Structure 1
Amino acid sequence: MNNYNVENLRKKLDLHRMHVLNKYKYYDCKKNEIDRGFVIPTEIKSQYISNLGWCTKAVDALADRLVFKEFENDLFSFNEIYNLNNPDIFFDSAILSALIGGCCFVYISQGVNEKPRLQIIEASNATGNIDPITGLLTEGYAVLERSGDDKIGFDTPKLEAYFKPNETIYFADGKVVSSVKNPAGIPLLVPIIYRPDAVRPFGKSRITRPARYLQAHAKRTLERADVTAEFYSFPQKYIVGLDPEAEPLDQYKATIASILQFSKDQDHESPKLGQFPQTSMAPFTEQLKTLASAFAGETGLTLDDLGFVTDNPSSAEAIKASHETLRITARKAQRCFGSGFLNVGYVTRCLIDKYAYTRDMISEVKAKWYPVFEPDVAALSGIGDATIKINQSVPGYFGSDNLSELTGFDASKEPPKVEAEDEL
């Protein structure tokens, strides 16, 4: 028998909330790193604060390639449920939130005329205890509204919901205000998880610790390069043999003036001018490129994705080959998110029909995705030639359904036939 306790889930959310908000700061490029360097004075550091969007690029490069298509063999009309909930925004928002926080949650409810409503809640505002077999929650907790600014991390919950298998309890300012029966028999809070495993059942964020370290290191490199650029622009000069009684030079005028005048001393000796070796920016450029290479290896991107042009523009196949790691990562993400979206549709259907269907009844429903890389004309030609040869060997092996998976195009419908009018 399960011992349900909302207080345990509140403590669990408080434990992980700051970690998720910290990842959102990296994604929003609002994370201020502490530079522990001892060479540059603190007052100068504060004037050269740089920003990098590498972590943002790591998330967006994968999220933009994950485009959900539909459910195949849709026996329970899952596609209809999602079409009622703005699918163009819903799927993209769920995928993006899950890649940043490791997971997100979908709050299921009923609106006008008992139509299903799906609301995405980020991992910083929801948690629960998960069933490792089905990927569904045995109990869940979500903060639906907070007082004040949600980004500071210390605001108090204003409206909460505690999800049990047969009941959803709502809290306002910490007190129970209502309770709604749940005929689905499953908590109406469903997780969408990115790369779950036995150790991390709630997944792993795309913004990993190595990615955060490399971006912070590159950020410090840019700040030091900014400070060094001042010395690079105005090299240090020196004067030897100047009369001690000469009027002191204005350092600013001496730096920007094109002509300087010096008189001979009483011994008719002229001062000698010199310049220290100019500071080079090359070490910073090389260090930044090295960090970019390490970041690209960590996230499956290329140096071109991070702004370092390496070669001439490549063909679609060459780009696809260079992103092989990203392609494999995207296919893995499709399997993870497809299972989560299937669970959302399953629980929603149980709620709408007011009947607790068994999980095995939806085993034939499959999530379909558009190709990670859209094929160009040359790739389509190659697919066509290969299809003809394979179908000659194995008739009917390729049809409109599996070719749609390869090309990303749906089979066109035949135009309606118009009967010819009888001749007069």
Structure 2
Amino acid sequence: MVYSLEWKADEGRDWLAAPLTVGNVHAADRADAFGDEELHWLQVLSRVWHEHYARNALRTMYYDGKEMLHDIAGSIPESMRANASCPVDWPRKAVSSLADKSVLAGFNIDPNVDDPGVVELADRVGLVPMMGQAITSAYKHSCAFLTVYPDAETRDVQVVARAADWSAAVWDRRRNRIRCALTVTENDRLGRATAMTLWLPGRAWELTADGTGWSAACTWRDPACPVTPVVPIAFDRQLDRPFGRSRISRTLMALTDMGFRTMTEMDTSAAFYASPRVWFLGLDPDAFQGSKWSRLMTSINAVSRDEDGLVPTVQQLQQASMTPYSSMLETIAMMVSSATDIPAEALGIRLSNPTSVEAINAAEQRLSRIAERQNREFTGQLMQLMRVAIYMQGGYKQLADVDLSGITPVWDPVNVSSDAAKADWLTKVGSVDEAVAKSDVGRRHLGLSEAEIKSVKAWESRQRAQDTLDALRQSVNQPEQGQTGTATADAGTGGTQQSSAKPSENWGASELKTAFDALGVAIRSGVSPQSAAAKLGLDGIDFTGMIPVSLRDDSK
């Protein structure tokens, strides 16, 4: 069956020119049904994409520094106006300064819960670097999208980030999630879309251009999945703006244009300043022979009298000063700093009155608070993504069965402090609460990465296991009778009572393995299993069924 997708005018407004055209759509497999619902949402998403394409492309130009000079006065020569390139990089700095404070470090797994595969999935798909790219794209265009789907060949779950300039989505306000989405996945050398994916609740369609239209194939279908496998990564989400807003706001673009014009006018004035303007009053222009510039640069020049015997008058015009332009740039930089919460010095402007350290730190604190709020928002969006991804991996009947309690994303600290300040904080906190200082929280505050924290914990586990083994070997090598404190007389019963230390509640797999190895050493030394277990602090536990057969045969 072939469905015709027509472009219609929206209230008399023409469609914006963009490299996306959709003709006929037909299902590649007759078993699939690309029905009226899919066609309806494809039309809606195509319209959304067209409506936002121009603004997304404009913000990309500002981010890349490729915007054109416009609204300029006639005082600038046409040649300089045509060859002028933007000398200010404020839009990119507005994006990167905040993106540098939102860096995903990994996932923290509570020791009391089992990891259903979150860490393995994140490592396999490269979620950490991908999240950094998605956040930068979100700050540039207001949002980015993370799509989840099972690979058609390997069936492994894949996570791919998509930029907003090649994507479109419709928000479901009643359920507070994405209703459907469209992502352009391939384009030709001319920039025209040749492949795209239509995302709907419980299904995904791959559309491929075949010359006469689009061939649609359903690559994923799960009626039990109630959500669209697309998660937005948005900046500054509001109730009326569920996809957020861009860091490159209209205010910042206007200020960038002002800075562009000011720098170009300053460059033009500098060109005039380099060549002094001299007027010869009462002298015929034909009196100049050769280059006028060489005349100006010659050390000695002579001017003859005119036919009336009068001497021409020479006047040099006063050159324009650079001070007004510097003051203008300083004013614009202060306005950009106010709009982006970036210190003015970081914008490449040296102010006439240097800002104090307290003022710079205050500006950084405002940006850090925004980053902390965004990291909390990104945490919720990441957990939605991982919940859908773990569900697609299998083993769950419905999405509600996926429990990710005790699993949280970990972000790098938004504020960078010196090593001395970190050590001082850890020392003071450790004197009040030693558990916090020795926990992963304290180590992250110290600046250790997730890999370094895992390495430290593994070393601690091996060290505890080695200490346990050394203590047990020392205890086994001593005679069982006659040890100080081994047996004490019980005055009430006349019997003996053996003292032993209780096992540590923090023993992990490494400590238990070491304990069993030490138990084997004790048995080979002629010590009974129960006596060796008592020395380990495991008295009262029957180890008979846990001892390897080879060791059981050696013991009597």
Shift of residue 267, structure 1, vs aligned partner: 6.5
Alignment partners' CA distance in 2, 1:37 and 1:264: 41
Other-structure match for 2:422: 380
Alignment partners' CA distance in 2, 1:64 and 1:385: 28
User: What amino acid is aligned across from residue 420 of structure 2 in structure 1?
Assistant: A
Other-structure match for 1:164: 200
1:402 aligns with 2:438: no
Match of 1:107 among 142, 147, 152: 147
Q: Residues 50-72 of structure 1, C-alpha deviation per residue, up to 9 Å, x if partnerless? A: 43211011111111222112223
Counterpart secondary structure, 1:159: strand
Q: 1:194 to 1:246 in 2, by over 3 A?
A: closer
Shift of residue 284, structure 1, vs aligned partner: 1.0
Shift of residue 193, structure 1, vs aligned partner: 1.5
* Conservation of the 8 A alpha-carbon contact between 1:76 and 1:349: yes
Counterpart secondary structure, 1:114: coil
Other-structure match for 1:182: 221
Match of 2:68 among 25, 32, 43: 32
Match of 1:63 among 82, 96, 99: 99
Shift of residue 238, structure 1, vs aligned partner: 1.9
Counterpart secondary structure, 1:374: coil
Counterpart secondary structure, 1:69: strand
Alignment partners' CA distance in 2, 1:132 and 1:386: 48
Other-structure match for 1:332: 373
Match of 1:83 among 123, 128, 141: 123
Over the residues paired in the alignment, what is the CA RMSD in angstroms?
3.1
Other-structure match for 2:51: 15
Alignment partners' CA distance in 2, 1:350 and 1:246: 88
Larger C-alpha radius of gyration, 1 or 2? 2
Alignment partners' CA distance in 2, 1:302 and 1:58: 11
User: What amino acid is aligned across from residue 79 of structure 1 in structure 2?
Assistant: V
Higher relative CO (CA 8 A, sep ≥ 6), structure 1 or 2? 1
Structure 1: give runs of 5+ residues left out of the alignment: none
Alignment partners' CA distance in 1, 2:65 and 2:57: 12
Q: Residues 214-261 of structure 1, C-alpha deviation per residue, up to 9 Å, x if partnerless? A: 11110111111111111111121122354x597235432233323211
Q: 1:95 to 1:283 in 2, by over 3 A?
A: same
Shift of residue 365, structure 1, vs aligned partner: 3.4
TM-score (norm 1): 0.86
Trace 1:157-306 onto structure 2 (pairs within 5 A).
Answer: 157-173=193-209, 174-183=213-222, 184-242=225-283, 244=284, 247-248=287-288, 250-265=291-306, 269-306=310-347
* Conservation of the 8 A alpha-carbon contact between 2:104 and 2:412: yes
Q: 1:232 to 1:303 in 2, by over 3 A?
A: same
Other-structure match for 1:356: 398
Q: 1:62 to 1:400 in 2, by over 3 A?
A: same
Counterpart secondary structure, 1:109: strand
Other-structure match for 1:119: 160
**Count of matched residue pairs:** 412
Larger mean Cα displacement after TM superposition, 408-417 or 112-121: 408-417
* Conservation of the 8 A alpha-carbon contact between 1:374 and 1:408: no
Alignment partners' CA distance in 1, 2:442 and 2:285: 89
User: What amino acid is aligned across from residue 385 of structure 2 in structure 1?
Assistant: V
Counterpart secondary structure, 2:257: helix
Shift of residue 182, structure 1, vs aligned partner: 2.9
Shift of residue 88, structure 1, vs aligned partner: 4.3
Counterpart secondary structure, 2:276: coil
TM-score (norm 2): 0.67
Shift of residue 104, structure 1, vs aligned partner: 0.8
Larger mean Cα displacement after TM superposition, 184-193 or 129-138: 129-138
Shift of residue 213, structure 1, vs aligned partner: 0.7
Structure 2: give runs of 5+ residues left out of the alignment: 1-35, 475-556
Q: Residues 402-422 of structure 1, C-alpha deviation per residue, up to 9 Å, x if partnerless? A: 323433325533454467899
* Conservation of the 8 A alpha-carbon contact between 2:143 and 2:164: yes
Larger mean Cα displacement after TM superposition, 374-383 or 279-288: 374-383
Alignment partners' CA distance in 2, 1:378 and 1:309: 30
Alignment partners' CA distance in 2, 1:188 and 1:3: 18
Q: 1:226 to 1:348 in 2, by over 3 A?
A: same
Other-structure match for 1:368: 410
Shift of residue 41, structure 1, vs aligned partner: 4.4
Counterpart secondary structure, 1:46: helix
Counterpart secondary structure, 1:277: coil
Q: 1:377 to 1:175 in 2, by over 3 A?
A: closer
* Conservation of the 8 A alpha-carbon contact between 2:95 and 2:140: yes
